[in-house]
Amino acid sequence: MSVLPPVRKDRIISQLPKCFNKGAALNTEDEFHGKVKTACLQQRTGTVGRFKISKVIVVGDLAVGKTCLINRFCKDVFDKNYKATIGVDFEMERFEVLGVPFSLQLWDTAGQERFKCIASTYYRGAQAVIIVFDLTDVASLEHTRQWLEDAMKENDPTSVLLFLVGTKKDLSSPAQYTLIEQDAIKLADQMKAEYWAVSALSGENVREFFFRVASLTFEANVLAELEKSGSRRIGEVVRNSLNHLILWF
């Protein structure tokens, strides 16, 4: 039997991390939802699914920096040479949120047109979508609408959390940054996405961003489970995700 090692000390989240910009945030609360905190304290979240995991897809134009962003967070490395992702890559990152083990399945998709067809077959069932653009390339920001539309064809827009992330912050001058940020915030607001600006090269905001993704998907995941379990009655027979009949008590 294989036993997972404990979650890394720098992946433990006990407070809701702050948003990047209050003008384009999924929420501006200071703390986790009260119901979520209580459930985690009582470890009630385990009643529905003990092993919590959320699927996150990362999309955006070619060479905007999707792979570098993931690699900076998961492996703390940066490669200045461009190696196109072919189809999709996958990383699993384990956290502990409010004392509960939680994993993010990060799907790094290809931005190149010729691989889009393969990559899009992995879009389904995402709890969060990270749409990436390059802060030094306005066209890549304009294309984010199309990436969103494609990702949403395979997902339920009412339950997916959206993040709009500008990369390569180290390369943009303050004047260039201010200009593109205005447009990005406007767009994030229209998409109902949370806006972030990061640099995989320097690491600026990378950890903060992924902690925010982990925290908000965890919170949404627990709230959905509480809602489901609350609407069930004792003795009720339900189907679980594997389509097995189970007795609810």
Ligand X SMILES: Nc1nc2c(ncn2[C@@H]2O[C@H](COP(=O)(O)OP(=O)(O)OP(=O)(O)O)[C@@H](O)[C@H]2O)c(=O)[nH]1
Round to whole Å and give the CA distance between 205 and 33. 24
> Contact between 67 and Mg ion (CB under 5 A)?
yes
Phi, psi dihedrals of residue 231, rounded to the nearest 5°: -85, 0
Q: Binder to Mg ion among 45, 85, 103, 127 (CB under 5 A)?
A: 85
Q: How far is the CB of 95 from ligand X (least distance, A)?
A: 23
- Residue with smaller CB distance to ligand X, 63 or 74: 63
Strand partners for 102: 52, 95
> Contact between 140 and Mg ion (CB under 5 A)?
no
Which 1-60 positions form the footprint of ligand X (CB under 6 A)?
Answer: none
Q: How far is the CB of 132 from ligand X (least distance, A)?
A: 6
Residue 244 carries which DSSP code?
-
Answer yes or no: are the C-beta atoms of 116 and 149 closer than 8 Å.
no
**Letter for the amino acid at 169?**
K
> Contact between 167 and Mg ion (CB under 5 A)?
no
Q: Which of 117, 150, 116, 112 is CA-nearest to residue 131?
A: 150
Locate 164 and state its tokens. 């709009």
Which 84-103 positions form the footprint of ligand X (CB under 6 A)?
Answer: 84-85
- Residue with smaller CB distance to Mg ion, 91 or 189: 91
Q: How far is the CB of 76 from ligand X (least distance, A)?
A: 14
Residue recorded with tokens 């949120």: 97
By Cβ distance, which residue is nearest to ligand X? 111
Contacts to Mg ion by CB under 5 A = 66-67, 85
